[in-house]
Amino acid sequence: MPVQDRVQRHAVNQPHNVALNIDGETLSWLQLWQSSNALYQHLCQLSLAKGVVAIASANDTTFPIAWLAATAQPFTAAVIDPLTPEDNLRDIFNRLKPDLLLLQRQDRRLIALAQRLEIRWLALDGWQHAQPVADDSAFCAEMQAATPFLIGFTSGTTSLPKAFIRSRRSWRCSFENGVEIFRLADAPSTLFPGPLSHGIGLYCLNETLYAGGCFYSTARWQPQAVLMLLAQQQIERLVVVPTMIAGLAAAAAQSDYPGLRSLLSAGAKLELNHWRLARALFPQAVMQEYYGASELGFVAVSTLDDDHISASLASVGQAFPATEIAIRNDEGELLPAGQPGTIWLSSEQIIDGYLWGDDDSAFKKRPWGATVADIGYLDAQQRLHLIGRRGNMILSGGNNIYLSEIESVIKSLPGVTEAVVIAVDDAYLGKKMVAVIEAGDDVIHQLPQQSRLLLAKYKRPRHYYQIKYWPLTSSGKIKRAELEQRIKDGSCTELTELSA
């Protein structure tokens, strides 16, 4: 578990239906079940002392096989992005000390590192079971709810990612509660066009396997290929991060895709500009967004109302099923509706804790719940309004300012595709804000003045830049730290300063 028993059920009920289509390579439910069961039995024969199996694999059909095998009891899977810088990989492996590393045969860099660190490894694309093996009942045995199944990684204040550990029940309950709210009861085909080693993609893969729909992905982020896949396969549901929407819109030209019936956005706040682009592309799709965190799981979900879109986008929705949201002050006291404070969550989805990197400054667990130090408030209808993360607040000229608030204002302007606001040192103010904007040449020069009309004087960026190409992570998120460093160094040739 948490999904092995469901895969077995689908293999019995729909053995020859396609379960996975990753970059054009397919596996039926029966093939997925037999292959993952065989790999699981192979892992059991290796006498892995701690049962920690690291997976560092690119997007292909071997990844789900490895995942299912390495998360069945008694194993715990540590999912690692194979594109992680080598110094970080070395630090992770030295701390994690996995019993086995599952990787791709062509990843010579990872193999060489594993050999230097004396880590046992197995090439997923080189390992094959000669013939079908008999089912092992332990592969989908009744879930031991409190036992760990996943070691994940989230960015910390240093270059070394924090490692967290999650119990089997923490995901199983979110699958159970997500079926209705995410409209998965009839097992829609689902596409996530990003890395499966990242949290959003990994969860999307598993919720689709749980529901029994066909899961689609691509080897890499290519907007044109994603649009072709949507059209050719008549995919019903698309899961994205907001920056992907802009990429899809640019690649689509004047085309639209009326066959898509559901779009789910995660990873960052969906803004008005994203909604406009998505609605033009997918005129029939029900659009949703969720707010959550690696440490907390799902916090809130919003189904957008086109007729009242500004009100819909003002919040991140209401509490995910079987969770309770509370707003508390620094003393832990509950705050009334409309009053901002720290967002706390009570839920079965919360992680067990960190293996390393826990400084108790961001993620905190207390008797009344857990928090990642995000700031927000609940309105009278119990909708959660997200203001920003405490670390996203700066002090400029004696004023507390949330950068995300400034970004939202700029993103609301017509013609804006994306915007990021960062803070740089200033001798007079302490910190000053710099806005980086992607927008069409026909509107870009009016945006600084337009944004100033909507912002209090102390919240106005001191500099505005136009950018054509963002530095992105492999999951499609903007590399804010890299962008900030480039601006500080004056080394970002992609930026053009706009007249104030």
Q: Are residues 326 and 425 in the same domain?
A: no
Q: Are residues 415 and 359 in the same domain?
A: no
Q: Measuring CA to CA, how many Å separate 244 from each of 240, 417, 450?
A: 6, 11, 26
Q: Report the CATH number that the domain containing residue 460 is assigned in CATH.
A: 3.30.300.30
Backbone phi, psi, residue 313, to 5°: -80, -15
Q: Are residues 368 and 447 in the same domain?
A: no
Q: For residue 156, what pLDDT is reported?
A: 47
Q: Are residues 374 and 422 in the same domain?
A: no
Highest mean pLDDT among 11-15, 250-254, 353-357: 11-15
Q: For residue 107, what pLDDT is reported?
A: 95
Q: Is the pLDDT of residue 476 over 90?
A: no
| Residue bearing tokens 């070691």 | 151
* CA distance linking residue 237 with residue 186, whole number of Å: 12
Nearest to 294 by CA among 454, 478, 161: 161
Q: Is the pLDDT of residue 157 over 50?
A: no
Domain extent for 486: 397-497
The two three-digit tokens of residue 8, written as one number: 């077995």
Of the candidates 378, 412, 439, which is a domain's last residue?
378
* Weakest-pLDDT range from 170-179, 297-306, 424-433: 424-433
* Weakest-pLDDT range from 147-161, 206-220, 443-457: 147-161
**Residues 338-348, mean pLDDT to the nearest whole number:** 96
Of the candidates 378, 406, 426, which is a domain's last residue?
378
* CA distance linking residue 102 with residue 85, whole number of Å: 18
**Residues 317-342, mean pLDDT to the nearest whole number:** 96
Angle at the Cα of 198 (from 359 to 87), degrees rounded to 5? 60
Q: What count of residues does the chain have?
A: 500
Of the candidates 347, 378, 409, which is a domain's last residue?
378
Q: For residue 135, what pLDDT is reported?
A: 74
Residue 429 — pLDDT band, cuts 50, 70, 90?
confident
Strands ordered across the beta sheet of 416-426: 416-426, 430-439, 463-467, 495-497
Report the number of distinct structural domains present in the chain: 2
**Residues 150-155, mean pLDDT to the nearest whole number:** 88
Q: Are residues 353 and 457 in the same domain?
A: no
Query: What mean pLDDT, rounded, does the chain reach?
Result: 91
Q: Report the CATH number that the domain containing residue 94 is assigned in CATH.
A: 3.40.50.12780
Per-residue model confidence as pLDDT tens digits over 88-135: 999 999 999 999 999 999 999 999 999 999 999 999 988 776 566 777
Residue 142 — pLDDT band, cuts 50, 70, 90?
low
Q: For residue 134, what pLDDT is reported?
A: 73
Q: Are residues 272 and 324 in the same domain?
A: yes
Q: Are residues 112 and 170 in the same domain?
A: yes
Q: Are residues 410 and 326 in the same domain?
A: no
**Residues 236-255, mean pLDDT to the nearest whole number:** 90
pTM of the prediction? 0.87
* CA distance linking residue 2 with residue 120, whole number of Å: 26
Q: For residue 497, what pLDDT is reported?
A: 87
Where would I find the beta strands (DSSP E) of 269-403?
286-293, 297-303, 318-319, 324-328, 341-346, 353-356, 364-366, 369-371, 374-378, 384-389, 393-396, 399-402
Per-residue model confidence as pLDDT tens digits over 67-99: 999 999 999 999 999 988 899 999 999 999 999
Q: Are residues 49 and 160 in the same domain?
A: yes
Q: Is the pLDDT of residue 41 over 90?
A: yes
Q: Are residues 314 and 403 in the same domain?
A: no
CB 190 within 8 A of CB 213: yes
Residue 154, C-beta contacts closer than 8 angstroms, at least 6 positions apart: 161, 162, 164, 199, 294, 295
Q: Are residues 100 and 195 in the same domain?
A: yes
**Would 407 be classed as within a structural domain?**
yes
**Would 335 be classed as within a structural domain?**
yes
**Residues 416-437, mean pLDDT to the nearest whole number:** 88
